[in-house]
Structure 1
């Protein structure tokens, strides 16, 4: 059997994305609380995500969202990392309130956002080790939240993933 890389690229990227998911899951988290959710979007669902990004770009008059919507279609998949809101009860004040009790429900616990950032960093580091091209996109995360892809999650970030001769996510104009 002969396996040509061009014919098997998507399978290889999805397998590598699985390793990125593991890196995100095992990333350090505040107080050891595992409140992140991780998913891969590909195929028809990637088209749906792109369409929602375009819709948001038009509504908000944000050309960057329109650009990102096209960019994700040039890759093989998008990883989503989000957090289920849970105040850590540390009364640290990082969220802008004196205590967790004073914090309003619509304001995320700073440690929840930090957890997402650490998970994104771990996933991207794994991608770099595997020589994948990535781009962190808040725009994909916002669209995913609107679509309910990670139910109950806030602060969702997207990571566009590609394996090609040149990254489709940079020199974007």
Structure 2
């Protein structure tokens, strides 16, 4: 069933394209998209499980099992640099300078990330590829240094094809 893995990788590539072309605030693209497969995917899954054990977060261990059982994972993350919109305050800070001093993520950056993820998972859905958006993979990829240091927020979207959806038919 080698064709299934090839199909899933092809869909993952289309998901990355959809994320990249999704609308961005002020037209600024701060996204990082990447497909994790093979040993690189396994390394992140192992790190996820380690976080789960170390910090007593059971769903990290559960999600790691799903990642091990997946063909690949699409990672979509973003840097969180402010867009310098005058008098914006959308993030809750007075202005961008105030946000930077307080370490607050730009609302445009995180909003763009959500739109990109929605665009990506719509591609998976259109091609009937089982998927689930995972905070746990994103956190592990960022904390473990698997993505560029500038990426501060991200999610993983593992992909699978099987008779039952491994991401929802689980204990």
TM-score range relative to shorter protein: over 0.9
Residue 162 of structure 1 corresponds to 160
* Residue 86 (structure 1) shift: 1.5
Give the alignment's TM-score, normalised by structure 1. Answer: 0.93
Contact 2:80 2:110 in 1 (8 A): no
Runs of 4+ in structure 1 off by over 3 angstroms are none
- Tell me, what secondary structure is at the counterpart of 1:159? strand
* Residue 150 (structure 1) shift: 2.0
For 1:123 and 1:159, locate their aligned partners in 2 and report how far apart those are by CA, in whole Å.
9
Residue 30 of structure 2 corresponds to 35
Say whether residues 1:130 and 2:127 are aligned partners: yes
* Residue 80 (structure 1) shift: 0.5
Residue 76 of structure 2 corresponds to 81
Say whether residues 1:118 and 2:118 are aligned partners: no
Aligned residues, how many? Answer: 168
Choose the corresponding residue for 1:100, options 96, 106, 109: 96
Say whether residues 1:8 and 2:3 are aligned partners: yes
Gaps of 5+ in 2: none
For 1:164 and 1:82, locate their aligned partners in 2 and report how far apart those are by CA, in whole Å.
27
How big is each residue's C-alpha offset from its partner over 1:8-40, in whole Å with a ceiling of 9 and x where there is no partner?
211111011111110001000111101101000
- Tell me, what secondary structure is at the counterpart of 1:119? helix
How big is each residue's C-alpha offset from its partner over 1:99-135, in whole Å with a ceiling of 9 and x where there is no partner?
1121135221111111111110000001111111110
CA RMSD of aligned residues (A): 1.2
Residue 3 of structure 1 corresponds to none
For 1:84 and 1:7, locate their aligned partners in 2 and report how far apart those are by CA, in whole Å.
36
- Tell me, what secondary structure is at the counterpart of 1:116? helix
For 2:126 and 2:12, locate their aligned partners in 1 and report how far apart those are by CA, in whole Å.
12
- Tell me, what secondary structure is at the counterpart of 1:101? helix
Gaps of 5+ in 1: 1-5
For 1:171 and 1:17, locate their aligned partners in 2 and report how far apart those are by CA, in whole Å.
22
- Tell me, what secondary structure is at the counterpart of 1:70? helix
